[in-house]
Structure 1
């Protein structure tokens, strides 16, 4: 699959802000514009554009320092509604996990999501994340153990 990640930069940030989720998904996630702005004030957050061929079709972000549950957290994974269901999100997430595995002492990756977000649940389960019952506010947190 021709999916790749590229750090957000002056050439791709605006196009990432134009991507759209379905109405059902939009209630579970901040906009890409808010996420990109957040990285300017929290420099440990690492934002990436997701490319399918030469087209920007998604956005993702992770923290480069450990947080709760002594793991590195993935914060955003989104694929434009026109490109969903094609395996792009799964491949982009797999690539992000490879990138995160390079971080110091990376032994587990954590992601939080709303329990009603069935798409997120299916994606993370298919990539080997496990639910140990951890909850943070209205979100559940699942863990992928790297070692």
Structure 2
């Protein structure tokens, strides 16, 4: 698989529905909201930026981040998911790198933050491999990890 075949495209009238029908594996469902919920949230919180993840011109995932700093004075990653049929191919990591590159262009972007359930080993491995570190921040049942830019 070539990473050049992966791109992220801002959600629009042509790609939103395909993102709604993507699914994670059964064991991952407790860790992430359905994409339809995230898409609806983005319509009421205008600073949230939803994107479709494409692999070879097919929508295979969804991600969303906030375009204004929040808690911990950082820009937050809200969602990153890859459909269960396309997991384990490096698509999520490549898409997350593209998202980090986009977020690093936001005004005064020096810190990115993502929260996830501590038992979500897939998320833990992904963010750790991309340089996010656990500085001990917790929000309810989630841990927040930080990447300093």
The yes-or-no answer on 1:91 pairing with 2:94 is yes
TM-score normalised according to structure 2 size: 0.97
Residue in structure 2 matched with residue 81 of structure 1 by the alignment: 84
* Alpha-carbon displacement from aligned partner over 1:30-62 (angstroms, at most 9, x marks no partner): 100000000010000000000001100000000
- Structure 2, unpaired ranges of 5+: none
1:107 counterpart residue number: 110
Q: 2:109 matched to 1:135?
A: no
Aligned residues: 146
What do you get for the CA RMSD once the two structures are aligned?
A: 0.3
Structure 1 counterpart of 2:52: 49
Between the aligned partners of 2:70 and 2:37, the Cα distance in structure 1 is: 21
Q: Does 1:145 align with 2:148?
A: yes
- Consecutive unaligned residues of structure 1, counting only runs of 5 or more, are none
Partner of residue 30, structure 1: 33
> 2-side partners of 1:23 and 1:45: how far apart?
27
TM-score by length of 1: 0.99
